[in-house]
Amino acid sequence: MSGGLAAQIQAQVKAAEDYARTVPRINLENDGRLVVYRAASKVAALRVLSLFSKEPETIAWIAGMDADSVLYDVGANMGLYTIWAAVTRDATVYAFEPEAGSYAMLCGNIFDNRIAGRVRAYCLGVSDTAGIGEILLSSTDAATSGHQVSVAKAGPTPAWTDEFPQGVVTRTLDGLVYDDGLPCPTHIKIDVDGLEPAIVQGATRLLADRRLRSVLLELDLKSEQHRDTMNAITAVGFERDEDSFQALLRKTTGGNALVGNIIFSR
């Protein structure tokens, strides 16, 4: 290799490294611990900047975890709560996100925070059916929401659009734990924009497992199916957190009226 070509390659490598360092990031601090998030889009930046105000109940729920906790983050998106639980609480986290762009950002956040030793991310959908299907995307931009996995026996919420189909592999929570051998979670967060009933239907054995201590579930109380899902969780021994339930009942205006998180614990 000539000296001129070698110098050219070195210059290109340096330019690529410089570019990688310019990926926008937002740093947050909690009790002296630095939490780093990639914010390569407007949506991603807004998610990070509203971390403490959008879902304060989720942050408070995570604050009760410790280094012995195993969190399943179903619908992890770019990993806001995956990263927060792993960095600030030393929790072990298994994150599931089927949308390709958000999954890539999730993995980048794991690597930036140097927590790959206790965090695993999987690009798959969780449902009541194991199979191969598609996810209908509301947008191709990373960190967006409103996507809809089609592989489910339980009737899913109608997709916002079918303009951007993406292939997806799905598993059930019961299958992940009892067939695939992932550790049993002590806590589960499920936020998948309407498919929550299907995921709960695919977790009947896990919900009865006493090692599982709490579930944070996004529900739409306007939906009979979602109300039945809430009752199914309390029927297997979980107690509904009344503060989060009453806060959701007071949410009566806007496009997300009566849609929000309810915490169940035992």
256, with CB counted inside 10 A (0-12, 13-18, 19+), is exposed
How many Cα neighbours within 13 Å face the side chain of 111? 7
Dist CA 108 CA 154 (whole Å): 33
**Residues 206-236: tens digit of each pLDDT:** 999 999 999 999 999 999 999 999 999 999 9
Judge if pTM exceeds 0.85: yes
Q: Return the higher-pLDDT residue of 22 and 104.
A: 104
Average confidence score pLDDT of the chain: 91
Candidates 91, 105, 98; CA nearest to 26 is: 105
- Domain spanning 47-265: CATH superfamily: Vaccinia Virus protein VP39 (3.40.50.150)
Q: Are strands 70-74 and 92-96 parallel, antiparallel or unpaired?
A: parallel
CB environment 50-85: b (16+ within 10 A), e (fewer): ebeeebebbbebbeebeeebbbbbbbbbbbbbbbbb
Beta-carbon contacts of 85 under 8 Å, excluding residues fewer than 6 positions away, are: 62, 65, 69, 71, 73, 91, 93
- Token output for 104: 């890539």
**Residues 103-132: tens digit of each pLDDT:** 999 999 999 999 999 999 999 999 999 999
Give the domain ranges of the chain: 47-265
Residue percentage of the chain with pLDDT more than 90: 74
> What pLDDT score does 161 carry?
57
